[in-house]
């Protein structure tokens, strides 16, 4: 298995944030890289909505969003 994957380090630095009563944990420490990742997601969602002319996605789970996109009129 060590040939396929690099050895895990002895320690990991994490960032912990509390948002809306939930604790979020990430290994991305740099706020700039966190913002860049979030911005990429926002652009992807905007692209999907503009391309398919969808005003809102009402689903909350990944599976349901995929289903809503596939059954959306206009495909």
Domain that holds residue 57: 15-71
Query: What's the longest Cα–Cα distance across the chain?
Result: 52
| Residue 9: inside a domain | no
The tens digit of pLDDT for each residue in 13-70 reads: 888 889 899 998 888 788 888 889 889 999 988 888 888 888 787 888 889 888 888 8
| Residue 29: inside a domain | yes
Question: Would residue 51 be called left, alpha or beta, if left means φ above 0 and alpha means ψ between -120 and 50 degrees?
Answer: alpha
What local confidence, expressed as pLDDT, does residue 6 receive?
77
| Residue 5: inside a domain | no
Task: Report residue 36 CA to chain centroid gap.
Answer: 12
Domains in the chain: how many in total? 1
pTM over 0.75: no
């Amino acid at each position: 298995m060590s040939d396929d994957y690099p050895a895990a380090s002895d320690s990991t630095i994490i960032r912990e944030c509390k948002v809306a009563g939930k604790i979020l944990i990430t290994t991305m420490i740099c706020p700039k890289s966190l913002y860049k990742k979030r911005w990429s997601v926002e652009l992807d969602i905007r692209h999907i909505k503009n391309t398919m002319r969808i005003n809102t996605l009402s689903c909350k789970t990944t599976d349901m969003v995929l289903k809503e996109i596939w059954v959306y009129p206009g495909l």
